[in-house]
A and B are shown apart, each in its own frame.
Chain A
Amino acid sequence: MKVTFPHMGHLWICLKAMLEYLGVDTVVPPPSTRRTLDLGSKHAPEFACMPLKLNLGNFMEASEMGADTILMAGGCGPCRFGYYAQVEYEILKDLGYNYRLVVMEPPEKRISELLSRIRQITGNRSWLEVIRGIKFGYRKARAVDELEMSAMRLRPREIIPGQTDAALSAALDEIAGAGRPEDLPEAVERAEEIMRGVAWENRPAIRVGLVGEIYTLLEPFANLDIERKLGRLGVEADRSIYLSEWVNDHLFMGLVRGIRSSRLYKKSAAPYLRHFVGGHGQETLGGAVYYKNLGYDGVIQVLPFTCMPEIVAQSILPGFSRETGTPVMTLIVDEQSGDAGLVTRLEAFVDLLAEKRRGKERLA
């Protein structure tokens, strides 16, 4: 059995750690590229959203490397993603791929539901080992997230352009390379050391909160590297969803305390949206309010074309923007790879935020 899974940002680092700790043969698909998208779009329904196309491409590329089992998240509710595992599996079957499919539906009541699904992959390992494996993966996710956060603070302040991203990629390699749980603390130490090596100066940065659909937020290939582009424009970005937070909310049912949780967003979304609308629609509104309360200059919503939950959120955001005076911009991503339009919008939005801040400072 050789297990693979779709890419979503740096998800692979924590899944690989967990699976390999449990002795499962793992195939990490090549990073999502133009080729992945071409393969996926060729065989996916045209009207499906971009994540489906990239997932499909990931599985096709992983199969070339010998993968035979897919491990994928499920879900239920208005967002179509919950059904993508099955749809992708059927498409692959029609194309003649011999994959086995294991879907990790989020546990509805008890965490034991998740554990039993994981055991389908891990076989006869003891529960204690399985839990240790999950914990190892989770700790890596947390480490990755913290590195990304520090990169977002550094990018607008780095002295040598591009140094932060070079450091981030070296630091992530350290985390990914830690083979055993006992190696992780030292790897984290080395990774932090690498990040501390980035030369920076203290300059004021515009702050932008990124909200929206999880896949397009976490996957740089899908969002055309929006975090890096903002960093180059002198913007300190943050995003409403990080991998470790999502895992804690949806797979551990909030077991880990002391980190940001989607419950916070549900609460802060209340003046604008009090219902679950599928996907991360409610979190998008909640995130916007959250960033406004933290004094961020503006909010950017990112979503894949045709994403229903985010379309609901998109139609409510102008009201939020009017009432709170927080500039909001929506970016829809799809198969197009030309980024001139994106850059133009980002530059104009940053101009707007900078002008607004100057106005405030004049009054103060």
Chain B
Amino acid sequence: MIGFLGLDVGSVSTNLVFLSEKGRVLESVYLRTNGRPIQAVQRGLRQIQGLLPPKTVIRGVGATGSGRNLAGIIAGADVIKNEITSHAVAANRMVPGVRTVLEIGGQDSKIIILRDGVVVDFAMNTVCAAGTGSFLDQQAARLNIEIENFGELALKSRAPVRIAGRCAVFAESDMIHKQQMGYDLPDILAGLCEALVRNYLSNVGKGKDISAPVVFQGGVAANRGMKAAFERALQTEVIIPPHFDVMGAAGAAMLARDFVSRGAPTRFKGFGAAEAGFEAGSFECGGCPNLCEVVEIREEGSVIARWGDRCGRWSVRAARENIS
């Protein structure tokens, strides 16, 4: 089999997909980053290799997510792309004609506006963590329900309670108040979904022209309560694409497929990269009082990349070619 790999290394989860020659997602792996992105990428490579037939040939690799540079170096990526572009590409190919992409992940959320298949506007949450997956996780844990059951329970609500969604702290104290008043759990959960949707629309979606078709993706799209709350707020159908939870990785793989179709050989290091000895170290640069923490990635002992310096004294200067 011949195909392409996409890696999305986020703060909470690391996802990999295998894309067929025709550009369809055939396999995907979703795992927790657990603060150790190198190990997560290596584990992911091992897992996806296990899902593929033995003689699979990887023609191209794309990396995205906040850990994209790291992932790109470990696996040997042909394309290293920011997550906004990657998500937009995947949404547009899976739901042709999409005009709005709502994406809520573990640690951030974004909105992407497309017209005729081209991104014309976007926003990412900047100053607020309310309305992301980790907050839902945390509340589910506090109420002692499995996050997987959160959505189903919320759907049972007939009268969602009003919860302040502007700030995670306000939301939590409001929820505790409502729970102690004796409101039903499904009503509180549905109220929380509505609060998060309100927060998202007025914070991330502020001033954006949201029109159908609307696609909802990212890990939180698994929560049916959130989908229903979006549909109520937007008064339109919200589409959840297949592979909604690995769209970033899918987009990166699609971009890699486009890239190598121009005739470039892949830089993929092979699945052996999963077993290679990578080490990340850091040191404090004493060149000026900024005291930047410079990260150093070593492969079998020799330095292959450095970053984290403000002035560019240490970093490998490869940024420009990664972008264009």
* In the complex with contacts A332-B127, A348-B84, A30-B120 CB distance below 8 A: no
**Overall SS of chain B's interface:** loop
In angstroms, Cα B122 to Cα A359, docked, is: 18
Asked if B26 is at the interface (CB within 8 A of a chain A CB), the reply is no
Asked if B181 is at the interface (CB within 8 A of a chain A CB), the reply is no
Asked if A65 is at the interface (CB within 8 A of a chain B CB), the reply is no
Taking CB atoms and an 8 Å cut-off, the chain B residues in 84-117 that contact chain A are 84-85, 108
Interface size on B, residues (CB 8 A): 31
* In the complex with contacts A233-B319, A351-B119, A340-B126 CB distance below 8 A: no
Chain A interface category by residue count: 35 or more
In angstroms, Cα B324 to Cα A360, docked, is: 18
Asked if A91 is at the interface (CB within 8 A of a chain B CB), the reply is no
Would you give the shortest CB distance from B101 to chain A, in whole angstroms?
A: 12
Report whether A327 and B323 are in contact in the complex, using a CB–CB cutoff of 8 Å. Answer: no
Report whether B82 and A232 are in contact in the complex, using a CB–CB cutoff of 8 Å. Answer: no
Residue of B nearest to A334 (CB): B127
In angstroms, Cα B113 to Cα A322, docked, is: 12
**Overall SS of chain A's interface:** helix
Asked if A181 is at the interface (CB within 8 A of a chain B CB), the reply is no
* In the complex with contacts A232-B320, A332-B126, A351-B85 CB distance below 8 A: yes
Kindly list chain B residues whose C-beta atoms are within 8 Å of the C-beta of A315. 207
In angstroms, Cα B119 to Cα A356, docked, is: 8
Report whether B82 and A318 are in contact in the complex, using a CB–CB cutoff of 8 Å. Answer: no
* In the complex with contacts A33-B288, A232-B320, A356-B85 CB distance below 8 A: no
In angstroms, Cα B323 to Cα A114, docked, is: 48
* In the complex with contacts A318-B208, A347-B82, A352-B120, A34-B289 CB distance below 8 A: yes
Asked if A321 is at the interface (CB within 8 A of a chain B CB), the reply is yes
Report whether A33 and B122 are in contact in the complex, using a CB–CB cutoff of 8 Å. Answer: no
Would you give the shortest CB distance from A310 to chain B, in whole angstroms?
A: 13
Kindly list chain B residues whose C-beta atoms are within 8 Å of the C-beta of A343. 82
Kindly list chain B residues whose C-beta atoms are within 8 Å of the C-beta of A347. 81-82, 84-85, 323
Report whether B118 and A30 are in contact in the complex, using a CB–CB cutoff of 8 Å. Answer: no
CB-CB contacts of A349-364 with B at 8 A, as 1s and 0s? 1111001100100000
Report whether A351 and B82 are in contact in the complex, using a CB–CB cutoff of 8 Å. Answer: yes
Asked if A173 is at the interface (CB within 8 A of a chain B CB), the reply is no
Known: A33-B288, A348-B84. 12 other contacts (CB 8 A): A30-B289, A33-B289, A36-B289, A161-B320, A165-B312, A225-B310, A233-B320, A234-B320, A318-B208, A348-B85, A348-B122, A351-B81
- Nearest first, the 10 A-B pairs at minimum CB distance are A318-B207, A348-B84, A33-B289, A347-B82, A161-B317, A35-B289, A33-B290, A344-B82, A351-B85, A352-B119
Q: Name 16 A/B residue pairs within 8 A (Cβ), A-sorted.
A: A35-B289, A35-B290, A35-B291, A161-B317, A161-B319, A234-B320, A315-B207, A347-B81, A347-B84, A348-B85, A348-B122, A351-B85, A352-B118, A352-B119, A356-B118, A359-B118
